[in-house]
Amino acid sequence: MGMLKKEDAMQFQKIHGQLLRKHHLFSALSDSDMTTLMRGTRVLSVGKGEFLFQQNEEARHFYFVVSGCMKLFRTLPDGTEKIIELVPSNQTFAEALMFNAQMMYPVSAQAVDSSELFSFSNIDYMTLLKSSPDLSLVLLGDLSRRLRMRLSEIEVLSLKNSTHRVVRYLMTQIVDSDSEYPQFDLPVAKRLIAGQLAIQPETFSRIVHRLKEEGVIDMKGKEVTVLDRKALANYE
């Protein structure tokens, strides 16, 4: 993990700062506030497989993914890891921790692909928050949304069998809601998806095999085509 050289970093910020403004955590900021905040910002480059932070480290920063993909996970007592979230580009993470003093990261963060990140100081952002009630409301909305996301994750993990979990996962990946034969790419490696669903990679593979056999979906590598939307929905 490394920081870019200063001139490169500034160039990088200039380009991607605009992108940042589109994110709801920063869109409510005035230009001057944004400038202030960006002064404390670092640009980080994290190589594939590298760690950004470890579980139980003190949380002083939160992050925005410019490019790549980060994996947030907890290490379970038996040593295996449980993936909590896969954070794609243009999303923030670990911003929920700044409101409790002396907070530790409850997860570890590792780069799934080589990634570029903005890092923000919790203290700086808190200062902005105190002077801008509107920003607080935005952030409250953000956390509230995350809470509901976790809720549906808990629901998935409570589904009776693994097939239901896989089907539910596939359903959430369908963005093109109109098409009769929706298509999409799996965002990450299959073993990571299996991890998120708390099933073994082998089980995931077998379930996909069965769904293909039944003509419900097709899958070649990461390319997924839903062949029978109703049948897929009816698994639930």
Partner DNA sequence: TTCCCCTCTTGATAATCATCAATTGGATTT
Partner DNA sequence: AAATCCAATTGATGATTATCAAGAGGGGAA
The residues that touch DNA, with contacts defined as CB under 7 A, are 160-163, 189-191, 198-206, 208-209, 219, 221
The interface partner of residue 112, options being DNA, its own copies, none and the CB cut-off 5 to 8 Å by kind, is: none
Candidate list 148, 191, 209, 222; residue touching its own copies; CB under 8 A: 148
- Among DNA, its own copies, none, the one that 139 touches (CB under a kind-dependent 5 to 8 A) is its own copies
Task: Select the binding partner of residue 191 from its own copies, DNA, none (C-beta < 5 to 8 A, by kind).
Answer: DNA
Residues 20, 26, 27, 31, CA torsion sign: negative
Distance (Å, whole) CA 160 – CA 187: 25
What contacts 4, CB < 8 A, 6 or more positions away? Answer: 12, 43, 45
Strands (DSSP E) found in 76-220? 81-87, 92-93, 108-121, 183-185, 217-220
For position 123 contacting its own copies by CB under 8 A, the verdict is no
Report the interhelical angle of 31-39 vs 6-21 (nearest 10°).
140
Q: Which of 158, 177, 178, 221 binds its own copies (CB under 8 A)?
A: 158
Residue 115: both structure tokens together: 């990634």
Binders of its own copies among 188-207, rule CB under 8 A?
A: 198
| Binding of residue 129 to its own copies (CB under 8 A) | yes
